[in-house]
Amino acid sequence: MNPTVTKPVVLIAEQLSPATVDALGPDFEIRHVDGADREALLPAIADVDAILVRSATKVDAEAVAAATKLKVIARAGVGLDNVDVKAATQAGVMVVNAPTSNIVSAAELAIGLLLATARNIAPANGALKGGEWKRSKYSGVELYEKTVGIVGLGRIGVLVAQRLSSFGMNVIAYDPFVPAARAAQMGVRSVSLDELLAESDFITVHLPKTPETVGLIGEQALRKVKPTVRVINAARGGIVDEHALALALKEGRVAGAGIDVFASEPTTESPLFDFESVVVTPHLGASTDEAQEKAGVSVARSVRLALAGELVPDAVNVKGGAIAEDVRPGIPLAEKLGRIFTALAGGVATQLDVEVRGEITTNDVKILELAALKGVFADVVEDPVSYVNAPLIAADRGVEVRLVTDEESDDYRNLVTLRGVLADGRAVSVSGTLSGPKHVEKIVEVLGYDIEAIPAEHMAFLRYTDRPGVVGTVGRVLGEADVNIAGMQVSRHSKGGPALVAMTVDQAIPSQVLDDIVSAIGAEWGRSVDLDD
């Protein structure tokens, strides 16, 4: 008598399209639960192999701990705010999402908002339904031969550029991480942010939300635009400062806006709601039938691949098994070094070497290269970066990547270094190591300066000419901004020569405060790094 074959169990925790279940196929036992009901979720997840969620189910550390057989968490969408990726990784649970499922929908909504603001569609609709025929009041403007400035030329930004080009618009873009030659291939002229602000008749934002991009289109930026400009944000709330935009609209410095995302969501109150020239929607970027179906089908396929032990292109963390135990602790360090590299560079590298030295190189260390690339692009592109798509993102941006290994390491048992050359010829490097039996992460070199710092959630680096009083000035400016310094190191090559300050602080340093420090000490530059997500 043959033993009973038990099918893997897949728990669907939210309403997904019938196509999602069809994509799973007959090889799984399908169960359902209301993921928003915590008391129902925790016992239901205990013995399942995979769980499919959208945004209402929180798969946090408690849920991961309760799921003793769990192998895959699948989020049918782009964001992962409701999934504790760190807890899942520590438990050896793969996390997958559907990073391209909504890009067409998001691009089309941005264009819809742009058209609506150009032609006053929303207020004209409201007036006519209210019994008023106000044809002359709602005269608009054409898109033809106007200039649209795209802030962020990732996948969604590219789709917007392609579609608006067909309207006969002049398309310019600001994205320091996309080479000008690559933009030109798409018929887009690459410009600085100030040039974009000054030239654009329409500005549409397509950036990830990071400490550097929050408030990017704020008070200062909105004083550099044409009074006829219309601003669109269908990317992330907070990149466009709502209060600064409202003031600019009130003072006649901006003609209109189309806003789908807000700094705080959900919201039913915003200063922008007072303006007839502003079209608002409640974060509808991914809210199409097609996007939802694509997301469900995509993650269902990923679940099938994962449970079959095959390569999963949309995995956002590392699946265990093939990675040597000596290599595994270096993965998060390599990713942090990648994020620090990008913050220091402030632009796209044309050549990037991931150097791994020491005893660890007797193992396959390819995963450290992938982790470093994931970190490099984590704060650059709008969509989540995975270990699989990171090399594709690098290739798309013209970055030549090499993995360099050497069993010899003079100063450390093992050392990981990211060394790159930027399009403007600048060289950037950052190195890190793991110390002791607990594998304590340490940054040991930045731009050729020797330091020894433990990576923290919030860091900053300053390069200046060594002289008395600098440390005190830095402390004073941060103190006035109520930012507490947790640690500070100064490294220099010679007395009175170039020096580097490396700081860890208790909270993110606002960009204006960092600019104030750079000005106060006459620094060559200052960079902040935030590793808190």
Please report which residue ranges of 363-469 form alpha helices under DSSP H: 366-378, 390-396
> Among positive and negative, which fits the CA dihedral 245, 251, 254, 257?
positive
> Residue 280's beta-bridge partner residues?
259
Which of 31, 119, 253, 283 is catalytic? The answer is 283
Give the integer Cα–Cα distance in Å for 132 and 301: 52
Q: SS in 3 state form for 209-242? A: CCCCCCCCECCCHHHCCCCCCEEEECCCCCCECH
Q: Contact, 386 vs 316, CB < 8 A?
A: yes
Alpha helices in 200-323 (DSSP H): 242-250, 289-307
Marked catalytic residue, from 265, 269, 325, 408: 265
CB 367 within 8 A of CB 331: yes
The single residue listed with the structure tokens 């507490």 is 484
Distances (CA, A) of 150 to 13, 175, 192, 235, 441: 37, 9, 11, 12, 38
Active-site residue flag, 236? yes
Cis amide linkage into residue 266, ω under 30° from 0: yes
Among residues 54, 155, 206, 236, the one annotated as catalytic is 236
Secondary structure (3-state) at 153: coil
- Is 243 known to be catalytic? no
Enter the tokens of residue 146.
């106007």
Category of 25 on φ-ψ map: left (φ > 0), alpha (ψ -120 to 50) or beta: left
- Helix then strand count (H, E) for the chain reads 16, 22
Q: Rounded to 5 degrees, what are φ and ψ at 5?
A: -90, 120
**Known catalytic residue at 276:** no
The tokens describing 45, both together, are 């997840």
Q: List, in order, residues 6 or more apart from 18 with CB less than 8 Å away.
A: none
What are the residue numbers of the active site?
236, 265, 283
